[in-house]
Amino acid sequence: MIDAVVFDLDGLLIDSEQVWDAAREELAKERGGRWHPQAQRDMMGMSSPEWSRYMHDVIGVPDPPDQINAEVVSRVERIYREHLPVIPGAQDAVRRLAQRWPLGLASSSNRELIDLALELMGIAGCFQATVSSEEVARGKPAADVYLEAARRLQVDPSRVAAIEDSQNGIRAAKAAGMRVIAIPNKHFPPDAVALAQADVVLDSLAELTAEAVEPR
């Protein structure tokens, strides 16, 4: 039995992975870093302390990690305020499931970007708990952010359905013991091994119904 649903954010509700990719690559090139094609996939799901250290240690951006984090977040926030890349059907899917279950959100985004995105989408009030991976010890694929979302919702993780799009997100939700519904990211699709861990695979948010979450 499902008692709550927890959504991911980036790549699921907003088409933001390319925004993060562009902001990080731009900063890396400006600062003389060594950007490589696998960098964005490597950083997907990482918490802000983790990816900013990656930018410093692996990409070679000379600034301290906290400055890297602040600069990238500032650039992403500016883009969001100009045009938030909402994935079609995102608000409808959230409101549809909110009619039946309490909702949480477990995101790798920074707190200020989570709050901004949900406010701009007009769905902040649909969520009873939102968690940023910067608020827990480890980012995805560790289970921490999903376990914390379940704790704040006061629901056992085994009775939570997680909605995910990414490889590390699927692994994180599965590690938390949740029922995993995958809607694969079109730009950075999860590999077959990760996708096989999902309990349900959908093509789009339009297919995310109560029956998909908990078949009768």
8 in catalytic set: yes
List CB contacts of 136: < 8 A, sequence separation 6 or more: 47, 144, 145, 147, 148
- Separation of alpha carbons 143 and 168, rounded Å: 10
What is the DSSP annotation of 134-172? GGSS--TTSSHHHHHHHHHHT--GGGEEEEE-SHHHHHH
Considering the candidates 3, 8, 21, 144, report the single residue annotated as catalytic.
Answer: 8
Residue 26's alpha-carbon distances to 17, 20, 32, 65, 207, in angstroms, are 14, 10, 10, 16, 35
Considering the candidates 10, 21, 144, 165, report the single residue annotated as catalytic.
Answer: 10
63 in catalytic set: no
List CB contacts of 70: < 8 A, sequence separation 6 or more: none
Query: Active-site positions?
Result: 8, 10
